[in-house]
Amino acid sequence: MVQRAQRVGGSSADPANTPARQRNKPFGNVTRGTTNPNRLRRVDRWLAGPQAWRLRLDWTPDQAPLVVDLGYGGSPTTAVELYGRMSKSCPDVHVTGIEIEPDRVRRAKPLEHEGLDFRVGGFEIPVPGDAVMVRAFNVLRQYDEADVRLIWATVCARLSPHGIFVDGTCDEIGRRSTWVALDRNGPQSLTISLRFGAFDLPSDVAERLPKALIHHNVPGEKIHAFLQALDQHWLAGAPLASFGNRQRWLNMCSRMHDDGWPLTRDPSRWRLGELTVAWSAVDPL
């Protein structure tokens, strides 16, 4: 079992000269593996909702769209839940749970059925074909920040043309979540999803930022400025609190958009306590 901020196994290798999929062992480290049922409902709702079009574009009669739960942990619960949620949007979807620890995979095998299986592996994604979606939640936060870009590049190399890789983090019961969405070209957006009543200020989510951002929440950095702007508009909307936190959140998102922050303008998602901003607005590089 590893602790947080471990260097990823093989991270000194040049991925251009030594592809991760050609390594003799899975690319990565064994994580702590802790999880809880229904913990990832927020990101699953996002994948099965506004991102479901990717499944339809990459579907063929000979190849079902592949969704990967990467690093599902000590229990296969999140992979089973992912299949249940994604199959409602795409009945033909195939979900593969990947874990680097063989014992965890052996324990999950009895739960396999048509559309769901489990494999030993790491960031190299040892599956035939390319993945339409890869979800890695509470995984990269246990690695060193210096390894994030290598891990991103390794996983994104296994995506289909319309594929997406979600690198995210959430609290123990899934009330505070954030995730970076990447495609073959790299990071595209940051999403923040909060349960109303589970925060005082939007910036309370800072401790759950993805590894690429969590150490950059300091004055002078883009992510810090973004969170501070959210807080300012949240506080300014206090008079709307009598109408409920949802109205206050909608007002905050609208004000942020009006200020020029590149938020995805989607009130239907805002109503869920969710907002998505272009990666360029928070990119620490």
Per domain, the residue ranges of the chain are 20-198+262-281
Give residue-wise pLDDT tens across range 114-135: 999 999 999 999 999 999 999 9
With H, G, I as helix, E, B as strand and everything else as coil, classify residue 21.
helix
CA distance 142 to 35: 14
Residue 13 is predicted with a pLDDT of: 41
How many C-beta neighbours within 10 Å does residue 14 have? 8
Torsion of CA 185, 168, 205, 8, to 10 degrees: -100
Who's near 258: CB < 8 A, 6+ residues apart?
Answer: none
Give residue-wise pLDDT tens across range 60-112: 777 889 999 999 999 999 999 999 999 999 999 999 999 999 999 999 999 99
The CATH fold assigned to 20-198+262-281 is Rossmann fold (3.40.50)
Which pTM value belongs to this model?
Answer: 0.91
